[in-house]
Structure 1
Amino acid sequence: MSANYDTGPVHGGKVGDQPPAETIETYRVGEQRELVVTRERDRFGGMKFGSAFFGWLTAMGTAVLLTALLAAAGTAIGLAAADNGVVQDATTAVTDTAASIGIAGIVALLVILFVSYFCGGYVAGRMARFDGAKQGVAVWLWSILIAVVVAAAGALLGDQYDVLSRLNGFPRLPVNEGDLTAAGIVTAIVLAGVALLGAVLGGRAGMRYHRRIDQAGLSR
């Protein structure tokens, strides 16, 4: 009499009902990756104002470069001052009359502002690794803080301390009495909103680079 060996599943069910070993291993690797990333985020996440400061520097440098190139190419009428060829401040330019600057100039300024702060947010998100949106907000907060400090220094000590004006950086705050109009306030809000949107999206884009590294490093 021959022995009868049962090769079926121990806990019942059919053999075909069991998931492949490769699927189980892939699930375990993905679960481990998420666990590691979550643990690292809990410890190293949050706003990193040091990284955000370098992001703000990147945003300012990009804004100056792009605005200078745009003015040199002559594609934004009214962006360059007629007397000395220096690019005017973005807030002042946008609040000018439509006849002197035009819709194309306004759109160009908004695009430059968005791209500049996208680059700044990307640098901050790439450096901080986690919470890219928060790093973008931190870049934007640096711009507001420095704009307030520079505007206060310019109002108290004179225009020679208006560093952003000398560097042609933006956005600046309309602190002069003639600039505190409804149009000036709305313009400042629009510029701040565009800068914030660009910084947040850039921060998220910079963070995604590290997620790809984590995925590659913890995969089989």
Structure 2
Amino acid sequence: MTERPEDRPQERRRTGPLGDEVEETRREEASGDEQTRRVPLGDDAERTARVPSREEERETRVIRTPSAAEEQEVPYPRGYFEAAEEREARLRDIYGGVDWLAGFLGFVFAAVCGAFFSLIGGLVLGPLGGLDLAGVSTLGPAVVTGLVILAVLIFLTYLFGGYVAGRLARFDGGRNGALTVLFTAVVFVLLVVIGGFVPGAAGDAVRDFIQDVVMPALGGVAESGAVGLAVLGGAVVVALLGGVLGGRLGSRYHSQIDRTT
């Protein structure tokens, strides 16, 4: 006995929200038994949920951050460098120029360093027989070695003194570093002139220093003639170079801070 079309169960299809036909699972009674069947509605509309099994590799999410090379450089705002230059010029007008206090404190520090380096020079020049320029017309190897050691010690003395002066003065470090040499000459002249009038133990120490150190050195320079004058001029030049370089290094500290801030 054949089934008539009207006896067959009707199949209804449900469309999705966009009008696409989607796969539908429905229950249908046939021959008295309940069964569930899947009605395919086309290849494009077939959607199945895929559950990863244990054997499959788990998905790993990798978050990539831009590297330093890929980061865009943030430009400085317009007028940034002009404002910094104007600020530096304004501060230079206020704090620039010769700072006498900084130069004097640099001289004091140079005097302390000179006392320390004189001890080192005595230990080094002792095996060489000292440095005596009296009656020297030509420079031998021992004299040249002693002069080189003396030049290095003088340079280091005023390098440290000039650094202190430049650090305190903030601007014009080279000028204030050279000021330490000027204070040395002024104090030396004052000690020679008024050293004999200073009472007490301080006066005795000054007089002993002048008689035992200063006068023999000046006498040796005078006796050696042109060689002594050349040595004296070289010592002054080395001291000025050390003071200027030390002062510039000291003022550079403040320049770096100003550029950073």
TM-score (norm 2): 0.59
Q: Which amino acid aligns with 1:161?
A: V
Q: Secondary structure at the match of 1:23?
A: coil
Q: 2:206 aligns to what?
A: 161
Q: Deviations over 1:102-125 (max 9, x none)?
A: 321110000000111011000000
Residue 69 to residue 116, structure 1, CA distance change in 2 (3 Å) = same
Q: Distance in 2 between matches of 1:94 and 1:35?
A: 55
Q: Which amino acid aligns with 1:123?
A: V
Q: 2:74 aligns to what?
A: 22
In structure 1, runs of 5+ residues without a counterpart are: 1-19, 80-92
Q: 2:133 aligns to what?
A: 95
Q: Distance in 2 between matches of 1:182 and 1:37?
A: 47
Q: Which amino acid aligns with 2:255?
A: R
Q: 2:245 aligns to what?
A: 201
Q: Distance in 2 between matches of 1:173 and 1:135?
A: 29
Q: 1:188 aligns with which of 232, 244, 251?
A: 232
Question: For 1:62-77, what aligned pairs fall within 5 Å after superposition?
Answer: 62-72=113-123, 77=128
Structure 2 residue 108 is matched with structure 1 residue 108: no
4+ runs deviating over 6 angstroms: 155-159
Q: 1:37 aligns to what?
A: 88
- Please report how far the alpha carbon of residue 185 of structure 1 lies from its aligned counterpart in structure 2 after TM superposition: 2.7
Q: Distance in 2 between matches of 1:176 and 1:185?
A: 10
Residue 199 to residue 42, structure 1, CA distance change in 2 (3 Å) = same
Larger Rg: 2
- Please report how far the alpha carbon of residue 148 of structure 1 lies from its aligned counterpart in structure 2 after TM superposition: 1.7
Structure 2 residue 84 is matched with structure 1 residue 46: no
Q: How many residues align?
A: 181
Q: Distance in 2 between matches of 1:162 and 1:106?
A: 26
Q: 1:121 aligns with which of 162, 170, 192?
A: 162
Q: Deviations over 1:194-219 (max 9, x none)?
A: 101110111011000000110111xx
Q: 2:10 aligns to what?
A: none
Structure 2 residue 189 is matched with structure 1 residue 151: no
Q: Distance in 1 between matches of 2:246 and 2:184?
A: 15
- Please report how far the alpha carbon of residue 184 of structure 1 lies from its aligned counterpart in structure 2 after TM superposition: 3.0
Question: For 1:2-13, what aligned pairs fall within 5 Å after superposition?
Answer: none
Q: Secondary structure at the match of 2:97?
A: coil
Q: Distance in 2 between matches of 1:214 and 1:106?
A: 41
TM-score (norm 1): 0.68
In structure 2, runs of 5+ residues without a counterpart are: 1-71
RMSD: 3.4
Give the % identical residues: 30
Q: Distance in 2 between matches of 1:143 and 1:63?
A: 11
Q: Distance in 2 between matches of 1:76 and 1:40?
A: 52
Q: Deviations over 1:63-84 (max 9, x none)?
A: 22122124335676234xxxxx
Q: Distance in 1 between matches of 2:101 and 2:208?
A: 21
Q: Which amino acid aligns with 1:190?
A: G
Q: Deviations over 1:166-204 (max 9, x none)?
A: 997xxx688966743433333221111110111011101
Relative to structure 2, which stretch is displaced further, 63-72 or 99-108? 99-108
Q: Which amino acid aligns with 1:59?
A: A
CA contact 2:133–2:220 (8 Å) conserved in 1: no
Relative to structure 2, which stretch is displaced further, 112-121 or 101-110? 101-110
Larger fraction in helix? 1
